[in-house]
């Protein structure tokens, strides 16, 4: 694996060159991109602000909420968490800058993030593949049906019955509209995950990639580490290997290494997406000033 020293200005110049030469761009993203955009699941201060009751129980970040909780606390957490992460009406500035960077290039998005920040920030929803699910939907735990349901009204009902002091919701807990059984948010946790809503986008992406076998494809990967490397990180490497004129840019402050067999066609950027986009925007401004 190759990990060069950080030189953002040089990296930004290379990325602009590769982007200009690319026929197609595939943006791939993991949790690191949303963390750079302000949605850091490891942020202890934000956790204490949103979940004071859970903080008093000894939990310190959203990453820790995998421990068993009573259902009333569990749904209280999910309601506040999803309302904060998924249903903000405002676009995110970092994602908007990324959309501006791609511009009119023929592009697709594949992300393990379930926060819909791409679609909320100017990317075409029909060209976004989210194989890990979406906080905006929920499903039967069993599941009794491949149908999933919009979670917006569910979250609103839970928040109306939520007590910040105890962290719990009161009243009836959510149930499946079809069988009356337990429900869960439609994100990939185990084999019960219902992936039907995401399969059409996956097929369209496969068709698009199939038509790119002779194209100059640029894979721009942001914040994809080793929590679920088989979803984003490794597929990007495989695409770059199998498409002769493909290139890979890996932006990751913790795990920016690229495979040695992709030397010359892969760029390692050991920085957060926010810092790289700052450098790209600055590089673009200087280039424009030099030509005027």
pLDDT tens digits along 72-129: 999 999 999 999 999 988 899 999 999 999 999 999 999 999 999 999 999 999 999 9
pLDDT tens digits along 3-57: 555 689 999 999 999 999 999 999 999 999 999 999 999 999 999 999 999 999 9
Given this model, what pLDDT does residue 141 score?
97
Given this model, what pLDDT does residue 3 score?
53
Tokens representing residue 233 in the block: 């990180």
pLDDT tens digits along 148-170: 999 999 999 999 999 999 999 99
Give, in degrees to the nearest 5, the angle at Cα 289 between 286 and 292: 155
- Label the pairing between strands 247-251 and 217-222: parallel
3-class state of residue 186 by DSSP: strand
258 within some domain: yes
Asked if pLDDT for residue 212 goes beyond 80, the answer is: yes
3-class state of residue 152 by DSSP: helix
- Label the pairing between strands 24-29 and 106-111: parallel
Asked if pLDDT for residue 211 goes beyond 90, the answer is: yes
26 within some domain: yes
Q: At 263, is the pLDDT very low, low, confident or very high (cuts 50, 70, 90)?
A: very high
Asked if pLDDT for residue 245 goes beyond 90, the answer is: yes
* Complete DSSP assignment for 238-283: HHHHHSTT-EEEEE-SS---B-GGGTTTEEEE-S-HHHHHHHHHHH
Tokens representing residue 122 in the block: 């100017």
Given this model, what pLDDT does residue 5 score?
55
Between CA 77 and CA 288 the distance in angstroms is 48
Given this model, what pLDDT does residue 67 score?
76
Between CA 86 and CA 137 the distance in angstroms is 10
174 within some domain: no
82 within some domain: no
Beta bridge partners of 219: 26, 248
245 within some domain: yes
124 within some domain: yes
pLDDT tens digits along 230-242: 999 999 999 999 9
Given this model, what pLDDT does residue 291 score?
34
What percentage of the chain exceeds 70 in pLDDT? 94
pLDDT (mean) for 65-71 = 88
272 within some domain: yes
Mean pLDDT of the chain: 93
Given this model, what pLDDT does residue 208 score?
97
As for how many domains the chain has, the answer is 1
pLDDT (mean) for 194-215 = 96
Asked if pLDDT for residue 257 goes beyond 90, the answer is: yes
Given this model, what pLDDT does residue 289 score?
37
Range of the domain at 247: 8-39+91-132+196-290
8-state DSSP, 258: B
Given this model, what pLDDT does residue 6 score?
66
277 within some domain: yes
CATH code where residue 269 lies: 3.40.50.1220
């Amino acid at each position: 694996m190759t990990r060069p020293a950080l030189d953002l200005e040089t990296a930004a110049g290379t990325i602009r060159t590769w982007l200009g030469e690319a026929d197609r761009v595939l943006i791939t993203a993991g949790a690191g991109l949303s963390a750079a955009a302000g949605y850091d699941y490891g942020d202890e201060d934000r956790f204490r602000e949103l979940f004071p009751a859970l903080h008093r129980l000894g939990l310190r970040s959203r990453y820790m909420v995998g421990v068993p909780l009573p259902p009333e606390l569990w749904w209280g957490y999910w309601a506040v968490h999803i309302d904060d992460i998924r249903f903000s009406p405002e676009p995110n500035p970092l994602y908007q800058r990324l959309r501006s960077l791609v511009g009119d290039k023929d592009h697709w998005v594949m992300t393990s993030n379930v926060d819909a920040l791409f679609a909320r920030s100017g990317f075409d929803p029909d060209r976004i593949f989210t194989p890990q699910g979406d906080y905006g939907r929920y499903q039967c735990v069993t599941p009794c049906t491949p149908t999933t349901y919009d979670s917006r009204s569910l979250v609103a009902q839970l928040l109306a019955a939520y007590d910040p002091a105890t962290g719990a919701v009161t009243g009836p807990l959510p149930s499946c509209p079809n069988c009356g059984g337990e429900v869960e948010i439609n994100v990939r946790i185990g084999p019960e995950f219902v992936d039907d809503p995401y399969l059409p986008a996956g097929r369209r992406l496969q068709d698009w990639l199939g038509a790119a076998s002779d194209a100059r494809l640029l894979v721009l990967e942001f914040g994809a580490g080793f929590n679920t490397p088989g979803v984003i990180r490794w597929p990007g490497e495989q695409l770059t290997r199998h498409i002769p004129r493909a290139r890979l840019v890996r932006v990751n402050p913790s795990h920016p290494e690229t495979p040695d067999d992709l030397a010359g066609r892969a760029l390692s950027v050991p920085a957060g997406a926010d810092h790289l986009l700052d450098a790209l925007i600055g590089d673009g401004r200087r280039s424009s000033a030099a030509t005027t």
